[in-house]
Homo-oligomer: A and B are copies of this chain.
Amino acid sequence: MDLDLVSPATSNDPAVSVIRAKAQLRRALERPRREGLRIGLVPTMGYLHDGHLSLLRAARAECDLVVMSLFVNPTQFGPGEDLDRYPRDEERDLWLAAEAGVDFVYAPPVEEVYPEGFATTVAVGGPLTEVLDGDPSRRGPSHFRGVTTVVAKLLNSVGPDVAYFGQKDAQQAAVVRRMVRDLDFPVRIAVLPTVREPDGLAMSSRNAYLEPADRERAVALSRALAAVRDAALGGSPLAAALAAGEAELAAAGIEPEYLEARDAETFAAVAELGARPVLVAVAAPVGPARLIDNVLIDPANHGGEAATSSPGND
C-alpha cells in the first residue's frame, strides 16, 4: 500500500490513512463504493476545533466510510486576506481525525488541486453571493467562486453520499446547497449547528489569532446576535432590533463589516419578520481576526435557536 499510515505512539492509538493524490483517492474509494458503502465527506481547511469534530462525529454516525479533506484553499482567500498566516497543524489534525474515526484524510498539495493550465470556475450568481460578503474590496463573490469550485472538485473526487458543512458560515452553506441543487450533484448537503465556547463565541480556526483581551471582546458578536433575536421576537421592528445588536458591538469597541437580516434561504433583504425564517449575520474584525457568526430567527418554529438551527437543512 502506498498510503501514509499515521498512527500515534502506542498501538492502542487510532490511525488514519493520508492520501495526497486524487488518483490514489479514487482507487481507495472504488471498492467501498462498489460494495454500496455510504460515504461521508467533511471538507475542512484544517486546524480542527470542536465545530469540525461535530461534523466528523455526525459523518461517523451516519456513514460507513468517512473522508475528511484537509486543504487550505488559496482561491477562496482575497488578496488582502490571511492565506499566508492561516493556522496549520497537520500532525494534530491527523491525530484528531484518527480519533474521530475518519477513514481517509485527503490532504493534497496545492499543485494537485490546481495543476498548470487549470482554467475552470464554478460560480453561483445572484443575491446568495452578492450580499453580505459582496464588497469586492473585502471578500466578495470571488471568495464564493473559490469555495464552489473547490467543493465541486471535492464532490467529484470523493463521490460522497453526504457532505457536511457548519452553520457558522451560513452563507457558504446556502451557496454550496444552491450549487449542488443547480448542478445535480448526487449528494445530500448536511448543515450542522454552530458549536460554541461556553461563553457563546462561535468556534473558528481564526479564534487562534485572538490575544486574551480580543478573545474577551469577541464574545460581543454572539451577544449582539442574541440581542437582535430577542428584540425581534419581543416585537421590536427589525431595524430597532439590529440597532440593539449594533449597540452590543459598539460597547465592546467592535465595528462590524455588516450586521444584517436576510431571508435565510434566498438571502434577499427583509424589512420585517414574517412567516419565513430570517438569518441575522455578522462579520467583524476583532484584533487581527475577521470573525463571523449568525443566528436564525424562525417565528413559525419556536423562534429559532442561536446555535442549533440551520436554514433549509434537508
Number of interface residues of A (CB under 8 A): 30
Chain B residues with CB below 8 A from A122, complex form: 120-122, 152, 183
Using CB atoms, name the residue of chain B closest to A125.
Answer: B119
Q: Which of B119, B123, B152 contacts A178 (CB 8 A)?
A: B119
Chain B residues with CB below 8 A from A117, complex form: 178, 266
A186 CB within 8 Å of chain B: yes
Whether the Cβ atoms of A26 and B156 lie closer than 8 Å is: no
Complex CA distance for A149 and B184, rounded to whole angstroms: 11
Chain B residues with CB below 8 A from A183, complex form: 120, 122, 149, 152-153, 156
Which residues of A, 178-205, contact B by the 8 Å Cβ criterion?
A: 178-179, 182-186
Whether the Cβ atoms of B178 and A156 lie closer than 8 Å is: no
Closest-CB distance, A38 to chain B (whole angstroms): 13
Whether the Cβ atoms of B125 and A123 lie closer than 8 Å is: no
Complex CA distance for A38 and B128, rounded to whole angstroms: 38
Chain B residues with CB below 8 A from A119, complex form: 124-126, 128, 178, 182
A34 CB within 8 Å of chain B: yes
| A interface residue numbers (CB < 8 A to B) | 22, 26, 34, 36, 117-126, 128, 148-149, 152-153, 156-157, 159, 178-179, 182-186, 266
For this complex, 30 residue pairs linking A to B, each with C-beta atoms less than 8 Å apart, are A22-B184, A26-B186, A34-B36, A117-B266, A118-B182, A119-B124, A119-B125, A119-B126, A119-B128, A119-B178, A120-B122, A120-B123, A120-B124, A120-B125, A120-B148, A120-B178, A120-B182, A121-B122, A121-B123, A121-B125, A122-B122, A122-B152, A122-B183, A123-B123, A153-B182, A153-B184, A156-B184, A156-B185, A156-B186, A159-B186
